[in-house]
Amino acid sequence: ADIMFFSSHKLGGPMGVGALAFRDESLHLEAPALRGGGQEFGRRAGTENVAGIAGFAAALTAATADLAGEASRLADLRDALERQVLKVAPDARFYGSRAPRAPNASAFSLPGLAPRTMLMALDLENVALSAGSACSSGKMTESHVLAAMGAAEREALRASFGWSSTQDDVEQFGKVLARVVDRMRSRHFAA
């Protein structure tokens, strides 16, 4: 990538702080993010949030201290979640599970159950899943990535994990999923 944007809160740092990294110093934004002073080499105006920047730096340091260990921890959570899903729905389908994949997410479908209804029912139980891929989050359009892996249009659900996710979260998810699936099947909310 030529330009990368980072959000502090995704690493456990303060909200409203981010970083913009350029591969090459000759690259630039077409227009400054904020007009005014010459801060950040003319890329933005305004006084820097020093406390926020320090918090971001601390979060980044903590997040990158043991990348291999964190990747392993997240993969363990992902695998535990997939076992929970299979307990509730033995016919569940997991996308990309036989290929090298990111440790922090699982995409799956539950045949016979309406994914949109499932998302709403889980949301009412304070469980946040997404439909489709992370790149298409918030859109009700088909993910070309999931389609390439054999997912029918808008059938996939996605669970993702982060620095604050725990085994207890996964176990609670399994309990909630069991309740929701039982309720949906008893009321015939089919796909």
pLDDT (tens digit per residue) in 68-99: 999 999 999 999 999 999 999 999 999 988 88
Q: Which residues are catalytic?
A: 135
Residue 54 has pLDDT above 90, yes or no: yes
Where exactly are the structural domains of the chain? Answer: 3-63, 67-186
From CA 10, how far away is CA 165, in angstroms rounded? 12
Lowest-pLDDT choice from 82-86, 121-125, 130-134: 130-134
Top mean-pLDDT range of 25-29, 100-104, 151-155, 173-177? 173-177
Report CA Rg, the chain. Answer: 20
pLDDT at site 21? 84
Residue written as token pair 């620095």: 163
Which CATH superfamily groups domain 67-186? Aspartate Aminotransferase, domain 1 (3.90.1150.10)
Reduce the DSSP state of residue 95 to 3 states and report it. strand
Residue 24 has pLDDT above 80, yes or no: yes
pLDDT at site 32? 64
